[in-house]
Amino acid sequence: MIETITTTPYDDQQPGTSGLRKKVPHFQQPNYAANFIQSIFDALPLDGGETLVIGGDGRYYNREVILMAIRLAAGNGYGRVIVGKDGILSTPAASNLIRQRKASGGIILSASHNPGGPKGDFGIKYNVGNGGPAPERVTSAIFEKSKTISRYRVWTTPAPDISKLGETKLGDMIVEVIDPVADYAALMETLFDFEKIRALIALGFRLRFDAMHAVTGPYAREIFVNRLGAPADCVVNAEPKEDFGGGHPDPNAVHAADLIARLMAEDGPDFGAASDGDGDRNLIVGKGIVVSPSDSLAVLAANAHLAPAYAKGIAGVARSMPTSQAADRVAQKRGIGIYETPTGWKFFGNLLDAGKVTICGEESAGTGSDHVREKDGVWAVLLWLNVLAERRESVAAILEKHWAEFGRNFYQRHDYEEIDSKAANGLMESLRDRLASMAGQRFGTLVVSEADDFSYQDPIDGSIATSQGVRIVFSGGSRIVYRLSGTGTKGATLRVYIERFEADPAKHSLPPEEALKELIDTADVIGEIKKRTARSEPDVVT
């Protein structure tokens, strides 16, 4: 029976860059999750009988919310829900299922790379029928509904056991529990030359994949070990845990320090990689070298044709605005389209759907292609492996040759985490106030050529996104970008992105902090970072 439960609205259910993210105790308030999921359904044009994909990264509170979401789906007339066994689905695997099974959408439970556990973070995100994150107009409609919600509808009896594969019914709705890995692994086999990668591994090529006790463990085991023949111990931290083993599932220099250290050792593996909580981010490390996400995007764009799925060439590349312009150089040289979008994967959806771009990437450790509508960590690792298997060169050699051909965009991102929100907003406001008078100003040897607050008009649907980050561009093309993170759950996080192009190969081996020294100092002068945040240095540099 469908039961209508009376509820009262919360005023803070506005989805951010990637869905609604809050601390677990916040989500545990009475009806908090049910309100939000009902608001999603209320915002959609549901006719009844639709298919919904449901899954999450396995973090604390995942199971409870999934069981509730199943009952809500039954209460709102869905015909079928497809749920990963034990509620598990990586974000790219969920995107793939939505597309393959022609679902009308999906609910993905994750707070991505944020820590989990009873006091950790939790999140709910809605993806639309193309498999990608809901666009702004949908998330705003959800927020509007959440502000006035007065009831939600659930199926009275409990949801079926989601630890058993197969189909059962909840009222008129079919609940189909599936293996979270199978369809995804099959998709990967259609994109890449598994034979070639297997041959590379059989020759003694050593890889190490750190699943960070998050969702990719089972995917990595099936693909790298079972299908590609790598030794079982090449996948580490492979058991997904509700609290990620107490760690922070963010594949960056701080949280994947152990992986990086192993790759820096003489006798270490040839190739290292890691993914985040929900499996959409990636870190790529070669022997002796960490590949910056912006460089990874450029190298993958330049070499994608070496993998079967992209052998005919790629239509174009898209990157988020703060991502370095390394990919632009590849696109220009190859004569393909290049698009600059605001931060957030959802902005790539229309470009991918329209066939304008094949490969997309962001500085925030995301790369992906038109195979799904999310960034995809394991996909990025496989594309790198496919390239390595074809070229039979080290990661370091591939990067050096890439820079020699296209020039090097030195790049760093400086993060100031959990700073006072008022101070952070004040800093951004002050920058915006000074934009008009910025051009022509001199800082040391640097002269500002342009300054603006990035806004974007989607070339497909014409929608406009404003205030997406302050850009200070200097003559010669160097850039400093300031923006506030849209994914934090506490205070504010200021991100400062610093970039300088260097054409001369003799200077390509400089450490980035040296190559960027003057810009880093200037970023503080212009942004008044130390003064306004009372921080002497960033918490994380990537």
Q: Are 255 and 249 in contact (CB under 8 A)?
A: yes
Cross-strand partners of 273: 209, 284
- If contact means CB under 5 to 8 A according to the sort of partner, which of ligand G6P, Zn ion, none does residue 344 touch? ligand G6P
Pattern of binders to Zn ion over 116-135, x per CB under 5 A? Answer: --------------------
Q: Which is nearer to Zn ion, 276 or 328 (CB)?
A: 276
**What phi and psi values does residue 29 have, to the nearest 5 degrees?**
-60, 155
**Using the rule CB under 5 A, is 112 a contact of Zn ion?**
yes
In whole angstroms, give the CA distance from residue 36 to residue 29.
12
Single residue of 268, 344, 377, 469 touching ligand G6P by CB under 6 A: 344
DSSP string, 414-425: EEEEEE-HHHHH
Ranges within 292-331 binding Zn ion (CB under 5 A): none
Active site residue 112: yes
Pattern of binders to ligand G6P over 294-333, x per CB under 6 A? Answer: --------------------------x-------------
Tokens linked to 173:
């709705």
| Torsion over CA: 317, 318, 321, 324 (sign) | negative
Total residues at interface with ligand G6P (CB under 6 A) = 14
- The residue with its CB nearest to ligand G6P is 485
- If contact means CB under 5 to 8 A according to the sort of partner, which of Zn ion, ligand G6P, none does residue 343 touch? ligand G6P
Q: Output the smallest distance, CB 278 to Zn ion, in A.
A: 4
In whole angstroms, give the CA distance from residue 477 to residue 442.
14
Tokens linked to 163:
């630890």
Ranges within 110-129 binding ligand G6P (CB under 6 A): 112
- If contact means CB under 5 to 8 A according to the sort of partner, which of Zn ion, ligand G6P, none does residue 278 touch? Zn ion
- The residue with its CB nearest to Zn ion is 112
List, in order, residues 6 or more apart from 513 with CB less than 8 Å away.
412, 520, 541
Q: Which is nearer to ligand G6P, 156 or 466 (CB)?
A: 466
Q: Output the smallest distance, CB 320 to ligand G6P, in A.
A: 6
Per CB under 5 A, which region of 112-120, 123-131, 187-195, 261-269 contacts Zn ion? 112-120
Q: Which is nearer to ligand G6P, 17 or 28 (CB)?
A: 17
Ranges within 210-229 binding ligand G6P (CB under 6 A): none
Ranges within 273-292 binding Zn ion (CB under 5 A): 276, 278, 280-281
Q: Output the smallest distance, CB 97 to ligand G6P, in A.
A: 18
Instruction: Specify the pairing of strand 51-56 against strand 80-88.
Output: parallel
Instruction: Specify the pairing of strand 151-155 against strand 121-128.
Output: unpaired
- How far apart, in Å, are the Cα atoms of 48 and each of 138, 188, 378, 534? 19, 33, 35, 54
- If contact means CB under 5 to 8 A according to the sort of partner, which of ligand G6P, Zn ion, none does residue 364 touch? ligand G6P
Residue found under tokens 């003064």: 531
Indicate the residue type of 68: M
**Sequence-ordered strand ranges (E) for 398-469:** 408-419, 442-443, 446-453, 456-457, 464-465
Say which of 90, 112, 292, 369 is annotated catalytic. Answer: 112
Per CB under 6 A, which region of 4-12, 399-407, 482-490, 510-518 contacts ligand G6P? 482-490
DSSP string, 183-237: HHHHHHHHHS-HHHHHHHHHTT--EEEE-TTSTHHHHHIIIIIIIT---GGGEES
- If contact means CB under 5 to 8 A according to the sort of partner, which of ligand G6P, Zn ion, none does residue 237 touch? none
Strand order in the sheet with 166-170: 20-23, 121-128, 105-109, 51-56, 80-88, 173-178, 166-170
In whole angstroms, give the CA distance from residue 540 to residue 71.
41
**Using the rule CB under 6 A, is 343 a contact of ligand G6P?**
yes
Instruction: Specify the pairing of strand 316-320 against strand 359-362.
Output: parallel
Per CB under 6 A, which region of 182-190, 340-348, 448-456, 497-505 contacts ligand G6P? 340-348
Q: Which is nearer to ligand G6P, 109 or 177 (CB)?
A: 109
Q: Which is nearer to ligand G6P, 237 or 487 (CB)?
A: 487
Q: Which residues are near Zn ion by CB under 5 A?
A: 112, 276, 278, 280-281
Q: Which residues are near ligand G6P by CB under 6 A?
A: 17-18, 112, 320, 343-345, 362, 364, 366, 485-487, 495
Which residues are tagged catalytic? 112
